[in-house]
Chains A and B, each alone.
Chain A
Amino acid sequence: MTHRRPFFITFLAPAVVTAVILAAALFEVLQYSVREFVPGSLNVGGFTLENFTRINRPIYWWVLLDTFYISLLTALFSLLLSYPVAFALVRARRDWVRSLLVSLSITPLFTGEIVRTFSWMLMLGSDGFINSMLRKLSLIEMPLQIMYTRLGVVVALVQFSMPVMIILLATAISHVDRDCEKAAANLGASPGAVFWRITLPLTLPGILSGIVVVFAWTMSAFSTPQLIGGGKVLMISNLVYLQGFSVLNLPFAATLSLIALIAALGSLVLMKSLTGRLEKRLAVR
């Protein structure tokens, strides 16, 4: 059976154009990464592999590791905080509760990253909301240092990623067959046992894709670590920025970008294969 698809080429065109431009840009990054840095100039010199050998210094490896670490922490905390929200969102009996939860969890998605990060700076600073509240309650004497720490960055990134995590989890939770939960209860499972043995395993695909998406997303975070980390918490994007726009070493920035891209893709592939295997083992429809 052959289908005639008269508009196929036409419809494909935008995707092709986008892909070509992306490929060209990546190629440009690639070719920058193998050029010499000419100090004091934006022009680059001849071919060299020096940028790649320069990567092999502990400081850069630490930034890369830190990026992994922050992304992983963000994904895990985002999951822990989002699951109850997503669950309540799907299972709420009253419509207004559901709409309220939807708007509360999705609206942040429509405020810019800068706006959200700035709000967190107001929250987390030495004179910020959290510190002044804690001091008013006499729980602390000296302000807690949250700004410019990994903790502060993770807190903001978790909030930043929660809408996406909630959407992915809510989709998974809404696909759980309620009859399976009823059947489990009928067979003697307490509400807790129903959750741990039925609901949670059946939402595992959503949990895994949520972790993967948030992890990958956080790997490329820039403004949050830039503003809240204030140069004290460096993620890979901040390092690229530093090299490219402060030191103006564009070739090395390109090399770092390439490394970041490879690291992100590599960890995604790794995660996909892990979750793929897990899912196959559980064979959830």
Chain B
Amino acid sequence: MFRPEFFLYLLTMAGVTYLIRMLPLVLIKEKIKNKYILSFLDYIPYTVLASMTVPAMFYATDIVPAAVGFAVAVLCGYLEQSLVKVAAFSCLGVLITELVIKYV
């Protein structure tokens, strides 16, 4: 079920990931007052997620179905649907497009 070296890999992976999350949370206790730093932190979640998504999403599967999935997600996101609905409709868009390309 497990290879012997697996646990060393697991420790490395989980350890590094945890330290990244833990150190700032534990070390920074004062409220930051500087408005530029606060603004920077306001923008960060959106810029991180956006740069993770574009263009990577278009390569997650074949490019045409992926583009349809992207368009569907943007539309649903614009209509402020829940996380789950947006993800589900996006997958559905990809699935339908793939089936159309394959069989029509």
Verify that A and B bind, or say they do not. no
The chain A residues found within 8 Å of chain B, CB to CB, are none
